[in-house]
Amino acid sequence: MAVFELPEWTALAPALILVATALLLFVFDSINPRTSNRSLLAGTSAIGSLTALGVAVWFMLAGVGTPSVDGGRGVVELFGGQFIVDQMALFFMVVVAVVTALVAVASYDYMEDHAYQAEYYSLVMLAATGMATMAAANSLVTIFIALELASLPSYALVSILKNNRGSVEAGLKYFLIGALSSAIFVYGVSLVYGATGHLQLDAIAENLEGAGEYGGLLGLGILMMIGGFAFKTASVPFHFWAPEAYEGAPAPISAFLSSASKAAGFVIAFRVFTTAFPIEATTAVIGIDWSLAFVILAIVTMTLGNFAAATQDNVKRMLAYSSIGHAGYALIGLAGLSADGGQLVMGAAMMHLLVYGFMNTGAFLFVALAEYWGVGRTFEDYNGLATQAPVACFALGIFMFSLAGIPPLGGFFSKYFLFVGAIEAGMLVVAAALVVNSALSLYYYARLVKAVWIEDPVADRGTLSQPTGLYAAIVFAAVLTVVALPVFGPIADAALDAAAVVIG
């Protein structure tokens, strides 16, 4: 049966599968509240995530959301246009599903002997549902609901290690800053609604001309919404929660938030600013090109993130600040929308977020493995790990060099497309900042590789176990990072097609 012969609501099948998995886990927990059957819980989560991944890929291959022969877009609109399933929505659903599956498999070992097993996996799947729904949201109301569905479980996941003071403290800080950013975002939404009289993105764009007398109100609303997006993507100036939350959270959750959550934040930013606020029409009303704000944010975010990462001695905090730097790279996709090469720049940002999902998740899962071994958190604590865990350390090398953008790994090609897109868009300063920051990042990434491979091992370190789930997730993430090279052509085509449909 062709995909278009299915009921329209099945276009949201990837998100529906994720929420069905979460509800199934709730049923397990209701029947046996003290269940510690990690194989059942982790296996159910992983199978649900992989099923959602398979359906999203099937829809992409079937042509959902791509321009058809007669000139239509093949886009599936649901609930009066409140949700829209196109190639960009499916692309980011793939990112969320892959990261969720890796986190579920890695958590099999990491959450051993921890309480709240069923709750943990249920919250992961609910957060993933919110992130997948964010990819398809086409109204400021549905965007906010999806944003909160992703955020509220995330607060609980960060602080789920109840006996760990750092985890509880990180969860509290994350919640307080998240509540502030949500308030700012909602207030921005109310201002946009007051100026345009609409909440659906395409309706906002159609009524921008009528908002002329409320240009200042609309401009302030857009600025406040940018602040909300900056929090979700850990971009300056709402970045300061990330190091605290990532350091205190269970390492698999740090991977989840820094990869899937970041991608979900960018997909709503891409959709809102390409659909609701076309640059020419918006500039005519508010008198300011909003893409300039993203140019500044991109440069400041990538620079602050990389310089802060270079000064860290704690590996987890280093990766947290590195994540902020990569948010700056992805912001180039929004910064270049006002130029003729906007489609290429946005597509390159999408490519980078996909590859980043593999390599960054793998890097944090290696930290999860180190925490499982109890080796410590500083660079010195990692010294000589390769003598006892060569496979995991080889995978770590792949993640680090790919994050730094060393050829021929996937991270190099995504950064290369970002660089070319920035050049074609005339953003020479942004392109230069990308190159300088990538060169700086090689210092601290190579420092970790040097610690595990070259430095002398810690003398009193005992025998290291080989936990199946963590090893499987790390190796699989490394394979995906390497495989991204030969299949980068299809990845680039999918990202560019998705950007073309959205930009229109």
pLDDT in tens, 405-444: 998 888 898 899 899 988 988 889 999 999 999 999 999 9
Residue written as token pair 């660089």 = 419
**pLDDT tens, position by position, 83-128:** 999 889 999 999 999 999 999 999 999 888 787 888 999 999 999 9
In tens, the pLDDT along 353-392 reads: 999 999 999 999 999 999 999 888 899 999 999 998 999 9
Domain that holds residue 416: 291-504
Chain mean pLDDT for the chain: 88
Sequence letter at residue 93 = M
The amino acid that residue 258 corresponds to is S
Distances (CA, A) of 264 to 88, 435, 503: 11, 25, 18
CA dist 292 and 181 (Å) reads 21
Burial class (CB in 10 A: 0-12, 13-18, 19+), 165: exposed
417 in Cβ contact with 348 (< 8 Å): yes
Note whether residue 377 is domain-resident: yes
Report if residue 482 sits inside a domain. yes
The Cα 15–Cα 127 span in angstroms is: 11
Q: Is the pTM of this model over 0.95?
A: no
CA 108 to mean position of chain CA atoms: 22
Place of tokens 């329209």: 8
At residue 477, the pLDDT reads 93
For the chain, the domain total comes to 1
Confidence band of 340 (pLDDT split at 50, 70, 90): low
Determine phi and psi for 478, rounding to 5 degrees.
Answer: -65, -40
464, part of any domain: yes
Would the pLDDT of 460 be above 90? no
Instruction: Identify the CA nearest to 311 among candidates 432, 447, 173.
Output: 447
Q: Which residue type sits at 177?
A: I
Q: How far apart are CA 358 and CA 242, in angstroms?
A: 19
Q: Where are the beta strands (DSSP E) in 38-186?
A: 76-78, 83-85
pLDDT band at 2 (very low <50, low <70, confident <90, very high): very low
Tokens of 4: 């278009």
The single-letter DSSP state of residue 463 is: P
Q: Which amino acid is at 357?
A: G
Q: Distance between CA 409 and CA 398 in Å, rounded?
A: 8
For residue 114, the model assigns a pLDDT of: 80
Q: What angle do CA 345, 272, 418 make, to 5 degrees?
A: 15
Residues 6+ apart with CB under 8 A from 320: 242, 243, 246, 247, 254, 258, 309
